[in-house]
Structure 1
Amino acid sequence: MTWKSMPPAELCDIMDFWIAAPWPMSKDEAQQRAVERFGWTIEVENDTPYLMNTVSNFTTADVMTIDYKNVMMDLSLDTSDTIREVTPESTAFLGDAHTLMVREGEARWGKPKLEHFEETTTALWNVDGGAIVSFSFLPRGLSAEYETPQGAELERKSGDR
């Protein structure tokens, strides 16, 4: 069985793009920027636009975009295929890919804060502008999250970060 994961430099380039973006912006603006920059697509279902990373060709193409009062708060995406049947080989593949992603992130943004919760390991960075970048390892797949400066501030005020 073979699985795919995003090259670490590509993932960090995506995060650097969002770090450099002119925040705040609306969900529609963020989705349009992703389409223009990365070649992702927007699919509309029941009058709701959903951002899709169809370029990486992973098992799940959805890019979750969360906004509050029309201000983007959070963007998260899969950075590997979804593992249907977890095996020692799939866990080793994901672990190696996550390690390389974290190393690339560390080279760009410094030492991350590591969080462990049950089977999940997450590396987090507080980056320029007050945003938060995180890369997560789960036995079924890898994901990345960009919390906008506005989303990160909301989390800090709520005591979640």
Structure 2
Amino acid sequence: MSTLSTPTTLGLNLATLRSTLPYLTGALHTTGALSGIYFLLAPSEGAKLFGIPFRNDSAPTPTENAYTKLHGIRDLTTALAGLRLINYATKLEDQGHTVAARAVGHAVGGLLFVGAAFAVGDGLVSGRYARDEGVKGEDEELAKNLTTSHFAVAVPIALLGMAWFYV
């Protein structure tokens, strides 16, 4: 077989890339689901993971508790929706419904773009928190570091989203 008859991107066979896409995206969504569960079960630790620790270590305020629960629900439901869409796209592909599978794949890509927007938004929120006058020392350093992490995570999420549209 000629190398011209096999489309490649960056030296990778597109068929191979297409077949690994559900696994890569599934791993990402599983991580998101676990993060959401963590926020729901351990709000105080979840807030630290996000980059905005609670001010009072003994008990979160009702506002802090509500915030982390909302964050956990957002992460968990978005991740579960992504996992279900991946499952559905894979089933359609296996049944030979290529066009429908591609359409559902575009929905997966769209959901990943939403996830990338979440990551950018989270980075903006934690960055603003880090610059707050009342935030000093360890809390400020944690927020600054995690601001960078939120922005950095947006890149592979967006790239995976693009892959679902173009691979």
TM-score over 0.5 (shorter chain): no
Q: Structure 1 or 2: larger helix share?
A: 2
Which one has a larger percent strand, Structure 1 or Structure 2?
Answer: 1
Normalising by the residue count of structure 1, what TM-score does the alignment of the two structures yield? 0.30
